[in-house]
Amino acid sequence: MQLGLKESGYIRNEKVTHQQRFLQEMDCVVPWADMEKRIAPYYDKTGAKGGRPPVRLGIMLRIYFLQQWFGLSDPGMEEKLYEVPSMCMFAGIDRSLVDVPDETTILNFRHLLEKHHLAQALFDCVKDLLTARGLLLKEGTLVVAPLIDAPSLTKNKEGCRDPEMHSTKKGDQWYFGIKAHIGVDANSGLVHTVVGTAANAHDVTQAADLLHGEETYALGDAGYQGVQKRPEHGATETFWIAAMRPGTVRALPDNPQGNIARRLEKIKAGIRAKVEHPFRVIKCQFGDTKVRYRGLAKNAAQLTTLFALSNLWMVRKKFLQKIVA
C-alpha cells in the first residue's frame, strides 16, 4: 500500500491556520438547523429532470456563507471548493461521494434567497438567537447610514452605470453607490435592523424603519437632525438625540457653556462609536468594501446577510465560552 505524505512522515505536523480556526468557530455559532428550517419550504429537493442530482440544503447554505466571508464570486467559489480542503470540509462535501456544486448551482441558490427575501429570514434567525441569549436589549438604538461604493464603470452589456444606484455629495466629494442604514443595539453594538437604499436617500427618511419600537432613546449623527419633527415619529415616545453639525461645534464660544456643549458632543461620539464596529467587521474581516452585484435588491440582500454574520462573529467568543463550560 502506498503511503500518503502525512503517513510517510514527510509532513511532520500540521498547523491550524487562521482560516481553519475562523471556520471552526463560525461552524459552532451559526444556528444551522433553524436557518435551514426557514429556507426549506422554498428549496427544491427534487432537482431538474435529467439534470444533476440536487445538492443538500445544508451544503448550499454553507457555500453561500463562504462566499460572503471571503468575497468570492460564483465561479470563484466553485474553484475554491476544489482548491482549498478546509472550505470543502466546512461545506460538508466529501468529494469521493458527491460532486462539488458548479457555479450555476451556486448562482441559482443565491437567486432563490433573493427571490423569496430569505436573507431577512436568516437575519431574523440570528436576531432571535441573540435575543434568547440576552445579548440584544431594548433600551436604546444607535443609527447610522454610511455609503458603500458601487462600480461606476460602463463597460457592461447595457453600457451604463447601475441605474438603481445614485450619486450623492458628502463634503466636497461625490460618491456613487448604496447607503446601508442600520439600527444597532446601544448596549452590545449588535445590528437589529438593516435597510438598503440608493446613496441619494437622506438619512432621516429611513430613521423610523431602523427602530424596533421598544427603545426609550435613539442616537444618530448630524444627518439625523430634525428627525423628531417628521410625521412618522409623531406617535412614538422614543427620545431622539442627534449630534451637532461640525461647523456648529467649531463655532461654539470659548466659554463655560461652549466647553460643556463640546464635552457633550464628545460623549455622544463615544457612544455612537459602537455603531461603526459592524462595518469594521464586514469591511476588514470579510473584505466587503464595494457592492458586488447590479441592482438594489441584490445588494441589500447581501448586506443583510453580512450583518447577520457580523453579529455572530462579534459574539462568537461568548458563545464558545459557554460551549466549553
40-53 burial by CB neighbour count: b if 16+ within 10 A, else e?
eeebeeeeeeeeee
Cβ–Cβ < 8 Å for 274, 184? yes
Kindly state whether residues 48 and 164 are assigned to the same domain.
Answer: no
103 & 216 share domain:
no
Is 267 inside a domain boundary? yes
In terms of domains, do 174 and 316 share one?
Answer: yes
List own/partner pairs for 316-323 with CB under 8 A and 24 or more apart.
Answer: 316/25, 316/26, 316/28, 316/29, 318/133, 318/135, 319/28, 319/29, 319/133, 320/25, 320/28, 320/29, 323/28
- Position 1 in a domain: no
CATH number at residue 142: 3.30.420
Whether the predicted model's global pTM rises above the 0.85 cut: yes
> Are 82 and 186 in the same domain?
no
* Alpha-carbon dihedral angle through residues 150, 155, 156, 162, given to the nearest 10 degrees: 30
Q: Could you list the pLDDT tens digit for every one of the 325 residues in the chain?
A: 444 444 444 455 578 889 999 999 999 999 999 999 999 999 976 554 445 678 899 999 999 999 999 999 999 999 999 999 999 999 999 887 888 999 999 999 999 999 999 999 999 999 999 999 989 888 899 999 988 888 776 666 666 777 888 888 777 788 888 999 999 999 999 999 999 999 888 889 999 899 988 899 999 998 898 888 888 776 778 889 999 998 899 999 999 999 999 999 999 999 999 999 999 999 999 988 888 888 899 999 999 999 999 999 999 998 888 765 5
My answer on whether 207 and 320 are in the same domain is yes
Cβ-contact 143, 210 below 8 angstroms: yes
Does residue 176 share a domain with residue 281? yes
